[in-house]
A and B are shown apart, each in its own frame.
Chain A
Amino acid sequence: MSILLILIPISVLIAAFFVACFILSSKNGQFEDLETPAFRMLSDGDKEKNQRSNK
């Protein structure tokens, strides 16, 4: 059971890391528009990707 003494601090660190990531991305506006990208993904065909990579 004493392995928990190591695992718990590690998990706390990981959690802190993810919170930091989340806050950073929310500051960059990633969660401002949650609906449109979901639609955008469906219609972004291969064509557009090719065009973009050609640019």
Chain B
Amino acid sequence: MKQLCDHCELPIPQGVIIEEQNKSFCCHACKTVFQFIHHSKLDEYYEIKSSLNLNEKKRAQFIVRNKHLEQIDSLGFQKRFLLNGPGKTIKFYIDGMHCFACVWLLEKLQTLSTDIMEIRVNYFEKSLTLSIAESATFIETIEVIQKLGYNLYPVASDSDLEKVKKEKQHELLSRVSVAAICAGNIMICAIAVYAGADEYWKTLLERLSGAFFIPILFYSSTPILKNAFHSLKNRRYVLDIAAAFSIILGATLSYYHLLKGSGAIYFDSLGTFVFLLIGAKYILLCSNNRAAHLDTIDYRLGSDHYFKVIENSEHGIERCKISTEDIAEGDMILLQPGDTCPVDGTVWNGESYFDNSAISGESQPIKVKAGAKISSGSKNIESEILLKCSSNAMNSSMGILLDSISKSWKQSNSITGLTETLSFFLFICVVLACLGTTSFLLWSNQSEEIFPRLLAILVIACPCALGIGTPLALGFSLKSLVQKGILVKNADVLVAASKISTIFFDKTGTLTNGSQTLTAWRGERNDSLEDIIFNLESISLHPIAQSLCMSLSEKRNIPKINFVDHLEKKGKGVSGKIGTDTWSMEKFSGTEDNGDYPNATASTLKKNGATVAVLYFRDELKPESINLISKLADLQISAGILSGDRASVVNYWAQTLGLSPGHIYSNLSPQDKSDLIKNTKRAAMVGDGINDALALKESALGIAVKGSLSASLKSGDVILLENNLFKIIELIEFSRKVLNLIRRNVIWSLIYNIGGVSLAAFGFVNPLVAAVLMPISSVFVVFNISMFFYRPTATMSALSLESSYAK
């Protein structure tokens, strides 16, 4: 094997080796650079460099598997996804964007080719809008983006829902702007009046502020009034009722006093109040809409081509290309290794292994022979078979499953519970205080005092902390969660996350890596044996062979060895000759049990028929899984497994993880999973495959892990943008903190309101004091919230800046 330069990692040509400090270099330049780096104590550079190489290898693997955009330039595809825009425009959800450097990189792509008209990235929405010239094709640009390691999911264009949401957002922003400018002007008038303008100017300014209040009342506050009206009609108590009540009463009284020419007017405090309330609503709406486009992702992609076999009396057997949608019941199709079965069917001819992990979570490939039933979504991994289709793509088991996912809409439970009960309590208090004051004033013959005092009560009692604080806190938390790599689809999810008491995990691909990896090596092991195994296995498409090659080549570069008679026997193994020695890598067939490695698949390396080494493969736990379970126990959340795999495998991992047997379920169909989750209260589901999608949808909190199929992207409430399960802990802890913040705000506002209401009831608060006190409580709430969010966001943006400069 040729030696590699320790700096540039290229092979060193013979005879020019330069050695220094146990390192070898190919040239003096490399040596000098190495010494410079070493003396500056920057040796970490080499570690980072090698880990980068590793990532590239993994990425390369990923691209091969990711074929769902191959048909993007077909007419049918474009009909579904083309947007209005310059040239041809498609919007994608982009997966794998971590920092701002990615935005920079992606947007720079438009300088590569003149075909690309525009690339716009929305960092917080995680979306990319790509426009190309009318004559160009998308596939080239998409391949470049995929090569960079990003994954794209097109967002359907015909979603009226998104359009409506966007319009609603624009409209609300207009209302906020009108409220802001009017309330600001009213404030200026009010200051002049309070500063002691003479009678002539006072009337004029009051009338002016009355005029400024008209757009606030009839334009800006309509969402509040409408919402209040609807909830009254449906007999639900929402915050907006109290707000609407004080707006209407305050406006009526103020206009009455304005016309009468005497008495207090409240335009200033009401205007500010409407502005803050509408502004907070807008911020929450924006955060909620941020992930909204995820619901329109089309996951029914992967429209690959298959070969249909037609028996023809003249030519014998004929093959023709057929796409997934055109496959009909009764057709015969060829499934090649690597193909995912598009329909349900029976094996007509041939033998192979099928990977069912996408459907059932079964970790081991299953052997199938002629006559065996195969369900859609399973993957052929070994050899070509002929399949007789018993369904088409739509009514196959997978098609039906996907259909039920898109149909079942998650019941949205608004911020109920705590906030609502407390504000109801507050409402009762206010009503009682109003009644008490009225009767007291009537009894003491001060009837002319009734209205001003009632209004003072209402203005003070307005639940600002609830009405402004809650949406503001939720809106900000969605934003900071995105920065942490957790995409939350709407604010209600946070409330659900803080209450979770049980978390169920899918096994394959969630707790474990989801692929068979080299676990143990029994027998002789050295570099030359590894070289032989790597080269032997490199011709095989079998997933175990591929994962073995990857893990061997990760450590070092492996030289090429040429074999004579290098061939793969399907279902048996690979063999080849070097000189007189016959080497083979075979499926382990010994009767000896796997001993320390239960549930492992074994292969033997044989030299001239004699066993040299036995290699064990198994689906390994993700490194963080064990710590995760103990961390969850600290948070007093019980963990469980919902898996479609066999009981023995599931129980083995449950034991390794130290899970209590009460929550371990195996042999579950997707429907079983979702039923179980539905019947468990406050349960979260963490999953990655199509088989989890239904359960994700039905659970109180569905968490989709990155690398997931897009069906689970769509049905989950939360999407982990990094493949790190610890994000779940972060999410739960964060949601609990936010809920505590909301609670603190509520308690503060209760104390403030009760104090204020009792003062107002006894006439200690005149309109001026009320007008000052009301904004103070809102300002305090806003201050409280920004103190909570300011620090993490500041450090985050500093980090993303740093990384953008680093590139």
Chain A residues near B (Cβ < 8 Å): 1, 4, 8, 11-12, 15, 18-19, 22-23, 26-27, 29, 31-33, 35-36, 39-40, 42-43, 48, 51
B33 within 8 A of A: no
A11-B185, A15-B181, A19-B178 are known; give 16 further A-B pairs, CB within 8 A.
Answer: A4-B201, A19-B181, A23-B174, A23-B177, A26-B177, A29-B170, A31-B173, A33-B125, A36-B121, A39-B123, A39-B800, A39-B801, A42-B801, A43-B103, A43-B104, A43-B804
Bound Cα distance from A4 to B192, whole angstroms: 12
B424 within 8 A of A: no
22 intermolecular pairs with C-beta atoms under 8 Å apart = A12-B185, A15-B181, A19-B177, A23-B174, A26-B174, A31-B173, A33-B125, A35-B123, A35-B124, A36-B123, A39-B103, A39-B800, A39-B801, A40-B103, A40-B104, A40-B107, A42-B801, A43-B104, A43-B804, A48-B108, A48-B111, A51-B111
Tell whether, in the assembled complex, residue B166 and residue A32 are in contact, meaning their CB atoms are under 8 Å apart.
Answer: yes
Bound Cα distance from A24 to B100, whole angstroms: 29
Tell whether, in the assembled complex, residue B166 and residue A39 are in contact, meaning their CB atoms are under 8 Å apart.
Answer: no
Contacts of B178 in A (CB 8 A): 19
**Which 4 A-B pairs have CB atoms at the shortest separation, nearest pair first?**
A36-B123, A23-B174, A43-B104, A39-B100
B336 within 8 A of A: no
- Name the distance in Å between A20's Cβ and chain B's nearest Cβ: 10
Tell whether, in the assembled complex, residue B122 and residue A36 are in contact, meaning their CB atoms are under 8 Å apart.
Answer: yes
Bound Cα distance from A35 to B97, whole angstroms: 15
Mask of B139-167 contacts with A, CB within 8 angstroms, 1/0: 00000000000000000000000000010
B169 within 8 A of A: yes
B contact residues, range? 20 to 34
- Name the distance in Å between B147's Cβ and chain A's nearest Cβ: 21
Contacts of B123 in A (CB 8 A): 33, 35-36, 39
Tell whether, in the assembled complex, residue B173 and residue A26 are in contact, meaning their CB atoms are under 8 Å apart.
Answer: yes
- Name the distance in Å between B306's Cβ and chain A's nearest Cβ: 41
B372 within 8 A of A: no
Mask of B454-478 contacts with A, CB within 8 angstroms, 1/0: 0000000000000000000000000
Contacts of A1 in B (CB 8 A): 201
Contacts of B104 in A (CB 8 A): 39-40, 43
Contacts of B122 in A (CB 8 A): 32-33, 36
B328 within 8 A of A: no
Contacts of A29 in B (CB 8 A): 166, 170
Tell whether, in the assembled complex, residue B804 and residue A39 are in contact, meaning their CB atoms are under 8 Å apart.
Answer: yes
Mask of B186-210 contacts with A, CB within 8 angstroms, 1/0: 0000000000000001000000100
- Name the distance in Å between B86's Cβ and chain A's nearest Cβ: 14
- Name the distance in Å between A24's Cβ and chain B's nearest Cβ: 10
Nearest residue, chain A, Cβ from B174 = A23
Bound Cα distance from A22 to B174, whole angstroms: 8
Contacts of B801 in A (CB 8 A): 39, 42
Bound Cα distance from A19 to B182, whole angstroms: 10
Contacts of A51 in B (CB 8 A): 111
Tell whether, in the assembled complex, residue A27 and residue B170 are in contact, meaning their CB atoms are under 8 Å apart.
Answer: yes
B window 90-148: CB within 8 A of A: 100, 103-104, 107-108, 111, 121-125
Contacts of A19 in B (CB 8 A): 177-178, 181
Tell whether, in the assembled complex, residue B103 and residue A22 are in contact, meaning their CB atoms are under 8 Å apart.
Answer: no
Tell whether, in the assembled complex, residue A26 and residue B804 are in contact, meaning their CB atoms are under 8 Å apart.
Answer: no
Contacts of B111 in A (CB 8 A): 48, 51
User: Are A36 and B181 CB-contacts (below 8 A) given A26-B170, A43-B804?
Assistant: no
Tell whether, in the assembled complex, residue B201 and residue A43 are in contact, meaning their CB atoms are under 8 Å apart.
Answer: no
B window 773-807: CB within 8 A of A: 800-801, 804
User: Are A33 and B177 CB-contacts (below 8 A) given A1-B201, A40-B107?
Assistant: no
Contacts of B181 in A (CB 8 A): 15, 18-19
- Name the distance in Å between B95's Cβ and chain A's nearest Cβ: 17
Contacts of A42 in B (CB 8 A): 801, 804
Contacts of A36 in B (CB 8 A): 103, 121-124
Nearest residue, chain A, Cβ from B800 = A39
- Name the distance in Å between A17's Cβ and chain B's nearest Cβ: 11
- Name the distance in Å between B165's Cβ and chain A's nearest Cβ: 11
Contacts of A27 in B (CB 8 A): 170, 174
Bound Cα distance from A33 to B173, whole angstroms: 13
Bound Cα distance from A31 to B178, whole angstroms: 15
In the complex, which of the residues A18, A19, A29 has the most CB atoms of chain B within 10 Å of its own CB atom? A19
Bound Cα distance from A26 to B800, whole angstroms: 27
Bound Cα distance from A39 to B173, whole angstroms: 23
Bound Cα distance from A41 to B122, whole angstroms: 14
User: Are A33 and B166 CB-contacts (below 8 A) given A19-B181, A39-B100, A42-B801?
Assistant: no
- Name the distance in Å between A18's Cβ and chain B's nearest Cβ: 7
User: Are A33 and B169 CB-contacts (below 8 A) given A39-B800, A43-B104?
Assistant: no
- Name the distance in Å between B198's Cβ and chain A's nearest Cβ: 9
Nearest residue, chain A, Cβ from B197 = A1
- Name the distance in Å between B204's Cβ and chain A's nearest Cβ: 8
Contacts of B174 in A (CB 8 A): 22-23, 26-27
Tell whether, in the assembled complex, residue B169 and residue A32 are in contact, meaning their CB atoms are under 8 Å apart.
Answer: yes
Bound Cα distance from A29 to B125, whole angstroms: 14
Bound Cα distance from A33 to B100, whole angstroms: 14
Contacts of A35 in B (CB 8 A): 123-124
Nearest residue, chain A, Cβ from B212 = A12
Bound Cα distance from A35 to B121, whole angstroms: 11
Bound Cα distance from A51 to B107, whole angstroms: 14
Tell whether, in the assembled complex, residue B107 and residue A22 are in contact, meaning their CB atoms are under 8 Å apart.
Answer: no
Contacts of A15 in B (CB 8 A): 181, 185
Nearest residue, chain B, Cβ from A26 = B173
Contacts of B173 in A (CB 8 A): 26, 31
Bound Cα distance from A18 to B108, whole angstroms: 35
